[in-house]
Structure 1
Amino acid sequence: MRSYHRTAALLNMVLSCVICSIAVNWIALPNGFVVTGITGLAMTAETFTGINYALIYYGLTLAILLFTAVTLGYKEVSSILFLSILYPLVLWVLNHVQVEIILKEKLIAVMFFGVVYGAGAGLTYRMGYSYGGTDTLSKILKQKVFKAAELKNLLLCLDAVIMLIMLSAFSLDTVAYAFVGQIIYVNSMNYVIFNMGPRLYEIQIVCEDPRAIERFIIEEIGKSATISKVIGGYSQADKIQLDCVCNSREYVQLREFIRDSGIDCFIKVFPLTHVFGRSKDFHRLSDQNL
């Protein structure tokens, strides 16, 4: 079973790389607009150096990978390692495949790009993996420099700085289209992450001190939790098990909180079909459509 899940995850990441590369090489570039983020930096560098942007992107991602290893450690590197190597390769290969999906209206092309790219990126983010771009740089800045800042605000600032740099090589109209594509891509990606697949999950967390997790569940995502005492079968040590039911968006938030907080715990996640209770996400026993 573990081998099956590993193979499925691998195929999912390969498919994600292909879809994102198609969006950039076959939709964005033929229709005369660029993209933001690390790819946008690479495209900007290409205009000054003449080096293919995919090769520059490869260098940038490897530099981010090395920087992440030094600053955040192996755990964070493991979530970006495979895609940091595979995606630039796929990006470069498809850049040399002469396929152009050209639409008459550039705004429609931008929208089409955003939907396709967001769908591709969402496939990997659902599984907890990342392309190692501005989101990883934001985590580094938060942990090492701006510790009090919110991660999403650091990400927005990085994207804004990159778009300003892109103005040195591209017109304001071109960068504006890239900005619109970014908005559509983020919304498309969020839809894949939060709305595809199971809607509700049961989360079981076993650790020695779950108080920080409990506070996050109650105060940040507005759910309750059941706490019970358990004994570790291997260690025979007393531990606490925390159970909660949350929707897909809250599950991702909880997972990221535990990861970013560095809390050592054992987590099991179960997809659920129906949950009855008082929360707005749960069903009522009187529901007639179940």
Structure 2
Amino acid sequence: MKKRNRFLTLFYMVLSCVLCSIAVNWVALPNGFVVTGLTGLSMTAASFVGINYALIFYGLTLLMLLCTFLTLGYKEVSNIIFLSVLYPLVLWVLNHVQVEIILQEKLIAVMLFGVIYGVGAGITYRLGYSYGGTDTLAKILKKKVFRAVELKNIMLTLEGTIMVVMLSAFSLDVVAYAFVGQIIYINCMNYMVFNLGPKLYEVEIICDHPAEIERFIIDEIHKSATIDQVIGGYSKEPKTQLDCVCNSREYVQLREFMRDQGFDCFIKVYPLTHVFGHNKDFHRLDDENLE
């Protein structure tokens, strides 16, 4: 099971890199606009030095990797190291594949770019990894320089500064389209991260067979449970309450188990918006770059 999970994680990370690279090389560039972030900074540098932007981007990501290790430590590096190596490579390879998705309306092309790039980036963030771009640079600046400033404000300032720098190489129209693409891709990415996953529910169970239900929760649906001792308001007797967070499919399994076993239970079910934790269905608490 663990090998399968590692394989799926690797597959999704490669898919993420391919989608983002397609958005940049096959949609953005053929339609005459660029992108923001470190990629846009690389494109700006490439227009002056004549080196392929993907190679410049590779250098910037490796520099970012080193700075991250020196300032934020190994834990943060472990979240970006694989994509810091893979994504620039995929970006460079697809830059040499002659495929162009050209649309008559540039605004539609920008929207297509935003959707493809947002889906690709969202896959990565759902897995708990990062490309090590301006989000990582913002974390470094917050820790070492602007400790009192909110991370999102640092990120906005970085993106704005990069777009101003891009004006030295590209027209205002080109940069404006890049800005619109940025807005669309961020919204698509946030939807992928926070809304596309399984619906989660908090299930509170008061019953006379807590040990059997707890065993089912842990062994069968692979979630955990919080156990509390409560007092029944009517009977005034001590009772055991189980509190579990699970997705909709797991909730149905749990409900059917209790029904088939004939347990006499009092159950409350609450739909949840976001849950942060280490389970594959939960978000990570350090996803501070996303709202």
What is the TM-score of this pair, normalised by structure 1? 0.73
1:201 to partner: Cα distance: 6.0
Q: Deviations over 1:242-287 (max 9, x none)?
A: 97687464538x9554688xxxxxxxxxxxxxxxxxxxxxxxxxxx
8 Å CA contact 1:202–1:244 kept in 2: the answer is: yes
Equivalenced residues, count: 226
Match of 1:60 in 2: 60
1:195 to partner: Cα distance: 1.6
Match of 2:149 in 1: 149
Change (3 A) 1:244 1:134: same
The residue correspondences of 1:1-290 to structure 2 (distance < 5 A) are 1-200=1-200, 247=272, 249-251=274-276, 256-257=284-285
Change (3 A) 1:248 1:25: farther
Q: Aligned partners of 1:33, 1:87: CA distance in 2, in Å?
A: 20
Q: Which amino acid aligns with 1:170?
A: F
Q: Aligned partners of 1:180, 1:151: CA distance in 2, in Å?
A: 21
8 Å CA contact 2:200–2:245 kept in 1: the answer is: no
Q: Aligned partners of 1:80, 1:6: CA distance in 2, in Å?
A: 16
Q: Which amino acid aligns with 1:54?
A: A
Q: Deviations over 1:192-214 (max 9, x none)?
A: 111222121669xxxxxxxxxxx
Q: Deviations over 1:19-67 (max 9, x none)?
A: 1000000000000000000000000000000000000000000000000
Q: Which amino acid aligns with 1:154?
A: I
Q: Deviations over 1:108-152 (max 9, x none)?
A: 100010001000110010011000000001111111211121111
Change (3 A) 1:255 1:15: closer
8 Å CA contact 1:201–1:251 kept in 2: the answer is: no
Aligned-residue CA RMSD (Å) = 2.4
1:164 to partner: Cα distance: 0.6
Change (3 A) 1:54 1:150: same
8 Å CA contact 1:227–1:243 kept in 2: the answer is: no
Change (3 A) 1:14 1:186: same
- Larger Cα-atom Rg: 2
Q: Aligned partners of 2:201, 2:186: CA distance in 1, in Å?
A: 23
Q: Aligned partners of 2:126, 2:45: CA distance in 1, in Å?
A: 31
8 Å CA contact 1:27–1:113 kept in 2: the answer is: yes
Structure 1: any 5+ residue segments left out of the alignment? Answer: 204-224, 230-241, 261-290
Q: Aligned partners of 2:41, 2:227: CA distance in 1, in Å?
A: 48
Match of 2:208 in 1: none
8 Å CA contact 1:226–1:243 kept in 2: the answer is: yes
Q: Secondary structure at the match of 1:80?
A: helix
Task: Please identify runs of 4+ aligned residues in structure 1 that moved more than 2 A.
Answer: 225-229, 242-252, 254-260
Q: Aligned partners of 1:53, 1:251: CA distance in 2, in Å?
A: 37
Q: Aligned partners of 2:87, 2:193: CA distance in 1, in Å?
A: 19
8 Å CA contact 2:126–2:283 kept in 1: the answer is: no
Identity percentage over the alignment?
Answer: 69
What is the TM-score of this pair, normalised by structure 2? 0.72
Q: Aligned partners of 1:257, 1:251: CA distance in 2, in Å?
A: 6
8 Å CA contact 1:226–1:244 kept in 2: the answer is: no
Change (3 A) 1:248 1:55: farther
8 Å CA contact 1:35–1:178 kept in 2: the answer is: yes
